[in-house]
Structure 1
């Protein structure tokens, strides 16, 4: 995503700049995509991983592999983001359940789980986070 350079961009995980960039890039997609955004201790974005891409069916996060990737890159924080091609930013029941599971795993691994954002069109919602 333009303007967010892993290893160089210093953005707060829930900053206006980051949120606007995510809405711009994910809000118009016609297929569901989930991004992992790991952050370092200094607040830098370490990387961005498209961890799931597919149809308009609900994305079910594979929590343990996601956590392993986050730990492998030395991240101390994680933001999870995905879009709803329908344009409805409200989290599904599956989104909320996956978020709770990931939040518990992050807590046990001492990784700060900032949030799980759902983007639909130009709007966004939070599933919860901030462990």
Structure 2
């Protein structure tokens, strides 16, 4: 006997409602393979949330820090890495859906998901086609807590290799403050100048941090 439309709708909606009703610890426990009904002392999720403070911080935490939590072994770390990557890809798919400027908020949401909680600087270049749609993403540099070396000609070379018409520069400030530094401003100007030689437009440079996101264009820096 085929299920009725009401029964199919119920079977679809009930799991969604149950998941939405879970608190962060219970949700994280299930993702990590522990029953939500397990005693608190048997849930690594409790220790992770107590140590890092939120789901976002747990997912952003380095593996070496995760291993310090009681009950967290290689399997838990791998599950967290997979969950984090799933979040990145969902955010990226939204960023890919629309061209700029209509998709700008999705793009900002994606780079915040990708970078805001990292403890070391990463500098990304997002390459856009002639319709201002995201076509490629490159890690330009990875550095220390306050510096990532960037070479403007390498950014432009890669833009030409992927046949980009424009790009958005993005990097994070692990300090939590998104305010551009003098070095940030200087390297941005060099990239804009190098890109202009090949008729490439640099749409913006975004600095992502826990306390917010700074836009060079909105600040009048480009």
Same fold (TM over 0.5): yes
- Does structure 2 retain, via aligned residues, the 8 Å contact 1:114–1:130? no
Greater strand share, 1 or 2?
Answer: 1
- Does structure 2 retain, via aligned residues, the 8 Å contact 1:86–1:120? yes
Q: What displacement does 1:11 show?
A: 3.6
**Cα distance between partner residues in 2 of 1:11 and 1:17:** 10
Q: Could you say what the CA RMSD is over the residues aligned between the two structures, in angstroms? A: 2.1
Whether 1:86 and 2:86 are equivalent positions in the alignment is no
Q: What displacement does 1:122 show?
A: 4.5
1:1-131 to 2 correspondences below 5 Å:
1-2=88-89, 3-5=91-93, 9-12=97-100, 15-128=104-217
TM-score, L = length of structure 2: 0.54
- Structure 2 vs 1, CA of residues 130 and 44 (structure 1 numbering), >3 Å: closer, same or farther? farther
Larger radius of gyration: 2
Q: What displacement does 1:55 show?
A: 1.1
Q: What displacement does 1:59 show?
A: 2.4
- Does structure 2 retain, via aligned residues, the 8 Å contact 1:34–1:52? yes
TM-score, L = length of structure 1: 0.88
Q: What is the total number of aligned residue pairs between the two structures?
A: 129
Unaligned segments of structure 1, at least 5 residues: none
